[in-house]
A = this chain, B = another copy of it.
Amino acid sequence: MSSRSPVFQKGLLSIKDLSTNEIEEVLSESERMLKVCRSGIKADHLRNMIMATLFFEPSTRTRLSFESAMQRLGGGIIGFADPSSSSTMKGETLADTVKIVSSYSDVIVLRHPRDGAAREAAGFADVPIINAGDGAGEHPTQALLDLFTIRKEKRKLQGLKIAIVGDLKNGRTVHSLAYALARFRNDVTFIAPRQLQAPADIVSSLNEKYGQRVEMSESLDAALDADVIYMTRVQEERFKSKAEYLQFANYYNINRNFLSRSRNDVTIMHPLPRVREISPEVDSMKNSAYFRQASYGVPVRMAILKMMLSEK
């Protein structure tokens, strides 16, 4: 495909590697893939091709939607699902694992606990690497499905007030999302407990490289006039102690009471799983977009895999 970008030939490591045009190309292809899913059209683009899912850190949701996407396009799957299965790689460097698995597969989807692991892996692989989350680093396919969801819900990607809420220090999902949103003209507000606010280098990089200014607040009330509220889970596994985690676990909560004070048409998003930050009573309200958001994981990942592999 003449329009295929070199970025996709190398893989997808960071949302920052994509041009705005490339992001829009993914969103358009995702729309076509959504039609394929809904119509039940048989797809055979990636027949006999193999996707390896190397998950050095568990992530059922990301893994299952990738594996569904690959098989909906006719491809096959190899890999391991969690750190204990990968113990068989013990004593082996990531470089060796990636070199070997890249000779068994056409694309590698990598989840790893260490920041920068995906880019390191790409240096050794003969096939494209998709970063499915590396430490507190990035999670670009989540950012793309988040953008897709906002456009589906709001019919546009510009001129919105978007509040991102929760653990913004450790949350790779929100880092990737902020860099993705920065390509389009939106007001962005980061809402977090002071200790979990986004790292200063991310805030300044957003401003300097993309001209994206960010409001910051500790109060959920700063989201009352938002068009989109993106909630995130405070992830227990990122804290050193249970006590430290519990200090923040119940910091923010979206419930019917909050929504009676917010914009009537506010869209509530969440990468899931949620714990206590969105009350189940919200699920049946038209504002709750998080299950639709999850469902877009399949067509968006189909689009990425198809753009990356189908002309190979």
Enumerate chain A interface residues (CB-CB to B < 8 A).
40, 42-43, 47-48, 50, 52, 58-61, 64-65, 67-68, 71-74, 76-82, 84-89, 91-93, 95-97, 99-101, 103-105, 236, 272-275, 280, 291, 294-295, 297-298, 312
Number of copies: 3
* Contact (A96, B272) CB under 8 Å given A60-B89, A64-B78, A104-B68: yes
3 closest cross-chain pairs (CB), A and B: A71-B76, A103-B295, A58-B88
Do A291 and B103 touch (CB < 8 A)? yes
Residue of B nearest to A71 (CB): B76
* Contact (A58, B87) CB under 8 Å given A76-B72, A101-B64, A273-B96: yes
Do A68 and B64 touch (CB < 8 A)? no
* B residues near A47, Cβ cutoff 8 Å: 42, 74
Least Cβ distance of A288 to chain B in Å? 11
Least Cβ distance of A36 to chain B in Å? 9
* B residues near A86, Cβ cutoff 8 Å: 60
Not counting A50-B72, A96-B274, A104-B295, a sample of 14 additional A-B residue pairs whose C-beta atoms are within 8 angstroms of each other reads: A47-B74, A58-B85, A61-B88, A64-B79, A68-B76, A68-B105, A71-B77, A82-B84, A89-B273, A91-B236, A91-B275, A99-B291, A99-B294, A100-B272
Do B82 and A294 touch (CB < 8 A)? no
Expressed in whole angstroms, the Cα–Cα distance for A101 and B272 within the complex equals 12
Expressed in whole angstroms, the Cα–Cα distance for A272 and B91 within the complex equals 11
Provide a sorted-by-A list of 13 A–B residue pairs whose CB atoms are within 8 angstroms: A42-B47, A50-B71, A58-B88, A60-B88, A64-B104, A68-B78, A71-B76, A91-B275, A92-B275, A99-B294, A100-B272, A103-B294, A104-B297
Do B71 and A291 touch (CB < 8 A)? no
* Contact (A61, B96) CB under 8 Å given A71-B50, A78-B71, A312-B40: no
* B residues near A92, Cβ cutoff 8 Å: 272-275
* B residues near A71, Cβ cutoff 8 Å: 48, 50, 76-78
Least Cβ distance of A63 to chain B in Å? 8
Expressed in whole angstroms, the Cα–Cα distance for A50 and B68 within the complex equals 7
Least Cβ distance of A278 to chain B in Å? 10
Give the interface centre of A85, A93, A280 by most chain B CB atoms within 10 Å.
Answer: A85
